[in-house]
Copies of this chain bind each other. A is one copy, B any other.
Amino acid sequence: MSNEAPIGIFDSGVGGLTVAREIFELLPSENVIYFGDVGRTPYGGRSKEIIKEFTRQDIAFLMEHKVKFIICACNSASSVALIDLKSDYEVEMIGVIEPGAKAAVERTKNGRIGIIGTHATVGSNAYARCVHELNPDLKVFSLACPLFVPLVEEGYVDKEATYLIAQDYLRTMKDVEIDTLVLGCTHYPLLKDVLADIMGDSVTLIDSGEETAREVYRLLSKSELINPGMSQSPVLEGEHQYFVSDVPDKFAQVATRFLGRMVDRITRVDISRY
């Protein structure tokens, strides 16, 4: 395995770019290949069986690009598909669930953790299972917030309507007095300000993408797979390539909002042939 090989990141659409952004920041020398399955987004409401088939194809596409590591940046795919698929490959793979769950377990003080995500993520119970493997005594409260994804994608992040919807959703989380809330969907970091405002200072927000990037750093270091560009001074900037399963226009537009920078080099692929 070459240290210069790219890291592969895939997601059901644009959401995984919040994970990519954390990788770019923490590991600036890494070459990254991002695949966004925008032609079949969102995965969140679909059945386990369909999510598994889509995930298998996403991985197959990245494998063709000889990646050294794969990040499943989609919470829905991480929840219901990754565990069954990762043993089929030699390349190391992680999802966004374990890092988010681990961080929550480390940071909670009152032992009450909230998880918010899509229907698929919440329905899979993956975060709760992961938390309980680490500490069976913790209490976990899960809640689907399906409107957050379209609100974020439409740029409705600092509007009164979004605040009202978030208040509706989070009421039960406040009632059960959690002290740690896991943003179990890659779109949610864009709503951090609204969520922090509603939950108040006593609740710590965990960004699964941020935690995942830290875990990738740790795992690549351990396997001695960090790109050599990192040890140069100044560090060598890695290359970033984007692939999508539908026309790139809308992706380019939303990606700018998610990454905080313009995105070029977007290529369309026919994912159904994988």
Contacts and interface: CB of A to CB of B under 8 A. Distances in A.
Contacts of A162: 161
Interface string A135-168: 0000000000011011100101001111011001
A46 interface: yes
Given A150-B146, A151-B147, A247 B47 contact: yes
Nearest to A151: B147
Contacts of A165: 156, 159, 161
Contacts of A45: 250
Contacts of A28: none
A165 B151 CA distance: 10
Interface in A160-204: 160-162, 164-165, 168
A150 B44 CA distance: 13
Contact of A154 (B47, B50, B147): B147
Contact of A161 (B50, B164, B247, B250): B164
Contacts of A46: 39, 246
Question: What is the total number of copies of this protein in its complex?
Answer: 2
Nearest to A47: B247
A258 to B, nearest CB: 16
A66 interface: no
Contacts of A161: 160-162, 164-165, 168
A161 B159 CA distance: 10
Contacts of A156: 147, 165
A73 to B, nearest CB: 20
Most B CB within 10 A of own CB, among A149, A150, A159, A161: A161
Contacts of A164: 159-161, 164
Contacts of A246: 46-47, 50
A218 interface: no
Nearest to A245: B50
A40 interface: yes
A154 B159 contact: no
Nearest to A45: B250
A53 to B, nearest CB: 10
Given A147-B156, A149-B150, A159-B165, 10 more contacts: A46-B246, A47-B246, A47-B247, A146-B150, A146-B154, A147-B150, A147-B151, A159-B164, A161-B165, A164-B164
Interface of A: 39-40, 45-47, 50, 119, 146-147, 149-151, 154, 156, 159-162, 164-165, 168, 246-247, 250, 272
11 contacts: A47-B247, A50-B246, A119-B250, A146-B150, A146-B154, A147-B151, A159-B164, A159-B165, A161-B162, A161-B165, A164-B164
